[in-house]
Structure 1
Amino acid sequence: MFQTFDAPSRSGPIGARLAALRAVLKKAGLSGFVVPHADEYQGEYIPAAAERLAYLTGFTGSAGAAVVLTEEAAVFVDGRYTLQVRDQVDGADFTYEHLVENPPHQWLKSRLKRGDRLGYDPRLMTLAEVRRLEAVAKAAGATLVPVEENPVDAIWHDRPAPPLAAVSLQAEPLAGEAAEAKIDRLRAILGEKDVDAAIIAQTDSIAWTFNIRGGDVPHNPVPLSFAILRREGAPSLYMDGRKLSNAVRDRLAGLADIKEETALAADLGALGASGAKVLIDPNLTPEALARAVSAAGGNLVEGADPVSLPKARKNEAELAGMRRAHRRDGVAMTRFLAWLAATAPSGGLTEIAAAKKLEAFRAETGEEDGQPLLEISFDTISGAGPNGAIVHYRVTEATDRAIEPGQLYLVDSGAQYRDGTTDITRTIAIGAPTAEMRDRFTRVLKGHIALSTARFPKGTTGAQLDTLARLALWQAGLDYDHGTGHGVGVFLQVHEGPARISKAGTVPLEPGMILSNEPGYYKTGAFGIRIENLIIVEPPSEIAGGDRPMHSFETLTLAPIDRSLIEPALMSADEIAWLDAYHARVRATLQPSLESEALEFLIAATQPLLA
């Protein structure tokens, strides 16, 4: 298994850890300390050695923070985790706050006092985050204090060792472009921006640039590393040399100067001392790295990570790999859905058993296809009944629930294959659904179809499209508390920037970008609904009678959508036509790879809606 189902501790040692941290802070002369869910590389998913937030609070979600003051402490999570945090974190130790609506710097405004000293780890916080804290501290007459040693580490006596997974090369036929060509393109971007160098702190940006992959982070095939790109001369790549085989080292040595991470600070200082203009992304670069340049006299130029857009615009080889991966994954998913339909109605099936079975189908299908399952792309969200209403629910031995007739079962999962990354959500009725379930599911489906069929001009952003996925819900006074879509990498991170479909999605969508389309609805204590496919932004094409060409989406994901949950009376003729055409494509594509019960299920599940 690529995930575990261990239950985190909710009480007991958490209170003792909080007291121990306060003792360390008092000894250091600090009035408080900020604990982000972050590592030095600012990834969404982090290795066990960096899970300081989970160690201190018990909260295991992928986004959050905590602030510990002398007499008060709070844990901050976004809308995906408002239910989960209450299950995992004791309210006697931490108050619960919304990470977006009342982030740490806002919460601190009414709590910091003149003379307070608020500590933070500059390696774990971006320049933009530190600036927000600095402004609050200055207004209160307090001081923001960078620490040399993280105080959480001082009390974390059984902290795991940092990961040392082997680095591998991503073959050029899969990458679609040689690393030399990518580096040349990036040099040209630095020239356009009139900078001498750029700090690259995002591990997926580094992996894409050098055509390498790793295994340091659960579910994300990236090596923990840093890089400096230079407009003139070879880039520098900083990582633990023990991760490199002779063959990989030889290949990388032809591209860059390979150094240990311990050399990074001195090299940044040398860049600063030379007066270089250094590009940094303030939202992605740890403050410690930016400070190393500026303190030595360098000129920081703020802008977006120069790798992010080239990486997001997938080339034809990458798109071909993703299509293969999604056909393979569709076969595994259909086998799973057929097994679920035969097994769940009789009772006895649990969320963990279903998650294990789905992973087994993926592993088996990958072996048959010659592309083994290398990882899952995130912990499978396997939620029955009320657990499905927890947006990023993580099933554990303590929460494992039976999947029973009369419930909705939500399964959000994905795979990492060498040729692509998948992410799919399906909601399945176990037995006969209620009228309310059918109404809500159909409204979610209408939003999903509206986004799938959207046509839009060049320059359109995800924020402009987000409304399409919500309109049918809004008309009934309903909504969901998460974005509609995120970018997806190719055998890289399942959550990839810079584009997204959400109220905050300000980056224009461009051809080759891959995003998720996942509207949902969640009734606390009852059920959750989400329908997710991955989609590719297609080049603009002419529309008969139109004035200008328009982009559209190609749907990558191939798996049946539960027809028993659809209320046809709520669907338009065009929506029904889209669903029938999608199901016909799913059937035609997957049928040759299925047999017996799975094939029978596929044929039945992809019949026209009104047949």
Structure 2
Amino acid sequence: MTAPAPDPADRLRLLRGELTRLGLDGFIVPRADEHQGEYVPPRAERLAWLTGFTGSAGVAVVLADKAALFVDGRYTLQAAQEVDTEAFEILHVTETPPHEWLADQVRPGARIGFDAWLHTPDGVARVGKALEAVDARLLAVADGSNPVDAVWSDQPDVPLAPVVPHAPEVSGKPAAEKLDEVAATLRRQRADAAVITTPDSLAWLLNIRGGDVPYAPFPLGFAIVHAGAAGGAAPSVDLFMDERKLSDATRAHLGEAVTVMPPADLPRMLDRLGGDGARVVLDHAVAPAAVRERLAAAGAKVLRDDDPCALPKACKNPVELEGARAAHRRDGAALARFLCWFSEEAPGGRLDELTVSDKLEEYRKSGDRFRGLSFPTIAGAGPNGAIVHYRVTPETTRTIEPGGLFLLDSGAQYLDGTTDVTRTLSVGAAGPEERKRFTQVLKGHIALASAVFPEGTTGSQLDVLARHALWQDGVDYDHGTGHGVGSYLSVHEGPQRISKMGNRIALRPGMILSNEPGYYKTGAYGIRIENLVAVREAQVEGAERAMLGFETLTLAPIDRMLIEPALLTPEEVAWVDAYHQRVHDEIAPQLADSPAVQRWLVEATRPLAVMG
């Protein structure tokens, strides 16, 4: 009979006991696995096991007499609900960074441990410098000696989901062609190899998909890409992945350029690169510090540069873009069926968040090429909508009350594309404050969707467009405006983004991003309007330089009952009406089996001049 898992207080006590055994005065527990992914396998949910916090970003620091959990603005309310605040102080990661808090708390001579496979070189350098300034030390625990693992008695096993080929009709480009392009990039950098540590890059490069983590079709593993030589040795890949995940068909798909090795062989192959004096590209923002230290110790010349797969992966090819459009048309039909159902059921006060979330998934599952959700649905009624990344559970589900707002952020993985859409819905008549804030958010959404900008523009240069209307009224939102989105990969993809934070990556044709301004009133309601957009070339008469703009991909009505037309300019009204006409024209033909939903769609997409 298996012993029951310890409660949260006991977990903290057990961890501190293990730290004492290791001679450590503290330990850093990130919400990360060896690949720095947003979604991690159950085995890597160390932060959730220790603290109870289930968000996708955060870090805990445990000392002998105190502990703190650091989260960003998306998760401050959620953390307060999930975490024992007597055991963990909850701090905003931007206002009080972990390295600064540590430097204030530790005594001279303190030894703070970390697992070098779960932190990036940049992160380690930042904490190490802060501790050094107060005569404390940051020490990597030995491989396989993570103290959380040592006390987590029922830690899940490593994932072994099958790896499958991603066919050319949806990938748009053969893996061999991608490898040649990446290898050519490395040769231009005078690099011999690159270590690929992120699973989405691995999946994109080799045209494979898997299921090792929730919500993203990732096969976990590492790779070394050998650049070869122009006119000489061909590029090749060493793939470090558990062979039990690879069928004969997948091995055949990988081809002769890919050599499969056990994950345990990675350190030995890093040593070999060092022994050869190789010049190796490593992305210090996402790679494990353990990889960098191993390469450097073995004598490799480590070149700090971006993952060579990241930018070409972000710039979708024509086949991937057409797949995204098709996926959004199917997703839009599922949303129309759901929204029609919601409009009939919600006013009666019979629905709760969990029921609604499950119903939307049911509609999506019936669509072609559906492969799962792209993230846990955010279904926030009333005050729960103000929790930016709220996750409904049977314990927290809230009845959707008439007269309130309901925020629904959801998405799906389809074989040909990834979707992510947020709609804020009125349940009955909304008040004037809610309508005003919703319309201000809509104005920001339209400003960004309509933007035309020169080549070389970054997302951070466009972010103000989405916030301007809110700023004029002295309000704002504490999250980015847009994240990159993959092609049947991660719903949150870099290196592009739209945010107040500086970003040196210019937007390029083919990139897919979200457009999602919002407003949140703690304890009352939340508002967000999110569509996905693709960067494309823009034709501007008389333009003196190449210009870009956005193509909106998402096809779902925006709740007309929450719009205050008097706050919109004629151009903004025209944008809403044109968008709704397009939604109707592309979605209605898919609803031929349901005249009731077709009738609902006609009403939901009427021009704003026809209110009522």
- How would you bin the TM-score normalised by the shorter chain? over 0.9
Give distance in 1, aligned partners of 2:574 and 2:355.
36
> Partners of 1:463 and 1:101 in 2: how far apart?
20
Structure 1 equivalent of residue 509 of structure 2: 511
**Aligned partner (choices 453, 456, 466) of residue 456 of structure 1:** 453
Asked if 1:524 is matched to 2:522, the reply is: yes
> What SS does the corresponding residue of 2:488 show, helix, strand or coil?
coil
Counterpart in 2 of 1:349?
351
Letter matched to residue 109 of structure 2: G
1:253 is displaced (CA, Å) by: 3.7
Q: Which residue of 2 aligns with 1:234?
A: 236
What aligned pairs does 1:474-485 form with structure 2 within 5 A after superposition? 474-485=471-482
Q: What's the counterpart of residue 232 of structure 2?
A: none
Counterpart-to-counterpart distance in 1, 2:467 and 2:336:
28
1:361 corresponds to: 363
User: Alignment partner for residue 260 of structure 1, among 253, 259, 262?
Assistant: 262
Shift, 1:506, TM fit = 2.9
Please point out which of 552, 556, 564 is paired with 1:555.
552
CA distance in 2, matches of 1:188, 1:71: 53
1:609 aligns with 2:608: yes
Give the one of 71, 77, 80 matched to 1:83.
77
Q: Which runs of 5+ in 1 are unaligned?
A: 1-8
The alpha carbon displacement at 1:12 in A equals: 8.1
Q: Secondary structure at the match of 1:140?
A: coil
Distance 1:255 1:321 in 2: 28
Conserved? CA contact 1:408–1:527, under 8 Å? yes
Residue 181 (1) aligns with residue 177 (2): yes
Report how far residue 162 of structure 1 moved: 1.2
TM-superposed CA distance for 1:540, in Å, is 4.0
Compute the RMSD of aligned alpha carbons. Answer: 1.2
Which of 171, 194, 200 is equivalent to 1:198?
A: 194
Q: 3-state SS of the aligned residue for 2:74? A: helix
The answer to whether the 8 A contact 1:423-1:534 is kept is yes
Q: CA deviation at 1:404?
A: 1.2
Q: After superposition, what is the alpha-carbon deviation per residue over 1:315-374, rounded to whole angstroms, capped at 9, x for unaligned?
A: 00000100000000000001110000000001110100000000000011x1xxx42x21
Query: 1:579 pairs with 565, 573, 576, which one?
Result: 576
Letter of the aligned partner of 1:509 in structure 2? L
Call closer, same or farther: CA 1:354–1:529 in 2, change over 3 Å. same
Query: Would you say the 8 A contact 1:119–1:146 is kept in 2?
Result: yes
Distance 1:12 1:387 in 2: 30
Q: Which residue of 2 aligns with 1:6?
A: none
CA offset digits 1:137-166 (Å, max 9, x no partner):
211111111112100011100111111100
Q: Distance in 2 between matches of 1:389 and 1:281?
A: 35
Q: What corresponds to 1:70 in structure 2?
A: 64
Partner of 2:249: 247
What are the equivalent positions in structure 2 for 1:289-300 lying under 5 Å apart?
289-300=291-302
Secondary structure of the 2:236 match is: coil
Q: Does 1:310 align with 2:307?
A: no
Quote the residue 1:490 is aligned against. 487
SS at match of 1:374: strand
TM-aligned CA deviation for residue 255 of structure 1: 3.0
Residue 104 in 1 paired to residue 98 in 2?
A: yes
Letter in 1 for 2:168: E
Output the CA distance in 2 between the equivalents of 1:294 and 1:506.
27
Amino acid at match of 2:508: E
Deviations 1:96-152, CA, capped at 9 Å, x for gaps: 111222221121121122110000000100111111111012111111111121000
SS at match of 1:109: helix
**Contact 1:457 1:540 (C-alpha < 8 Å) held by counterparts:** no
Query: Is this contact kept in 1: 2:365–2:372, CA < 8 A?
Result: no
Deviation at residue 305 of structure 1 after TM alignment: 0.6
Offset at residue 598 of structure 1 (A): 1.0
8 Å contact from structure 1 (residues 252, 258) kept in 2: no
> CA separation in 2, counterparts of 1:250 and 1:583?
47
3-state secondary structure, aligned to 1:262: helix
Superposition pairs of residues 52-67 of structure 1, within 5 angstroms? 52-67=46-61
Given that 2:114 and 2:141 are in contact with CA atoms closer than 8 Å, whether structure 1 keeps it comes out as yes
- Measure the CA separation in 1 of the matches of 2:94 and 2:55: 15
Q: Any conservation in 2 of the 1:64–1:76 contact (CA below 8 Å)?
A: yes
What's the TM-score once normalised by structure 2's chain length? 0.96
* Percent of aligned pairs with the same amino acid: 54
Q: Does 1:213 align with 2:212?
A: no
Match of 1:137 in 2: 131
The number of residue pairs the alignment matches comes to 596
When structure 1 is superposed on structure 2, of 101-110 and 308-317 the one drifting more is 101-110
Q: Is contact 1:344–1:430 with CA below 8 Å preserved after alignment?
A: yes
List per-residue Cα deviations over 1:538-557 (Å, max 9, x = no partner). Answer: 0243x224332310100000
Q: Which residue identity does 2:395 align to in structure 1?
A: A
Among 153, 156, 163, the residue aligned to 1:160: 156
Kindly provide the amino acid, as one letter, of the partner of residue 596 in structure 2. E
For 2:542 and 2:309, the matched residues in 1 are separated by 38
Give the residue type in structure 1 aligned to 2:158: P
Could you tell me how far apart the structure 2 residues matched to 1:461 and 1:189 are? Answer: 22
Measure, in 2, the Cα distance between the counterparts of 1:546 and 1:125: 46
SS in 2 for 1:187: helix
Structure 1 residue identity aligned to 2:517: P
Q: 1:50 aligns with which of 44, 48, 51?
A: 44
User: Residue type matched to 2:237 in 1?
Assistant: P
Q: Please give the per-residue CA displacement for 1:51-83, whole angstroms capped at 9, x wherever unaligned.
A: 000000000000000000111100010110010
**Counterpart AA for 1:137:** L
Distance 1:236 1:102 in 2: 41
SS at match of 1:61: coil
**Secondary structure in structure 2 of the residue aligned to 1:522:** strand
**Which amino acid letter does the alignment assign opposite residue 123 of structure 2?**
E
Please tell me the residue identity of whatever aligns with 2:152: W
Aligned to 2:428: 431
Q: Deviations over 1:470-497 (max 9, x none)?
A: 0000001110000000000000000000
**CA–CA distance in 2 between the matches of 1:350 and 1:446?**
30
Q: Which residue of 2 aligns with 1:95?
A: 89
Equivalent residues of 2:315, 2:511 under 8 A apart: yes
Give the whole-Å Cα distance in 2 for the aligned partners of 1:255 and 1:445.
Answer: 50
Structure 2: any 5+ residue segments left out of the alignment?
Answer: 229-234
Quote the residue 2:32 is aligned against.
38
Distance 1:204 1:597 in 2: 41
Give distance in 2, aligned partners of 1:180 and 1:53. 39
Closer, same or farther: CA 344–12 of 1 in aligned 2, 3 Å: farther
What's the counterpart of residue 596 of structure 2?
A: 597
CA distance in structure 2 between the partners assigned to 1:278 and 1:337 by the alignment: 51
Residues 118-129 of structure 1 mapped to structure 2, 5 A cutoff? 118-129=112-123
TM-fit CA distance, 1:412: 0.3
Q: Could you tell me which amino acid in structure 1 is paired with residue 125 of structure 2?
A: R
Structure 2 residue 329 is the aligned partner of structure 1 residue 327: yes
Q: Can you list the C-alpha shifts for 1:557-581, whole angstroms capped at 9, x where unaligned?
A: 0000000000011000000000000
Provide the residue aligned with 2:415 in structure 1: 418
Aligned partners of 2:556 and 2:583 also within 8 Å? yes
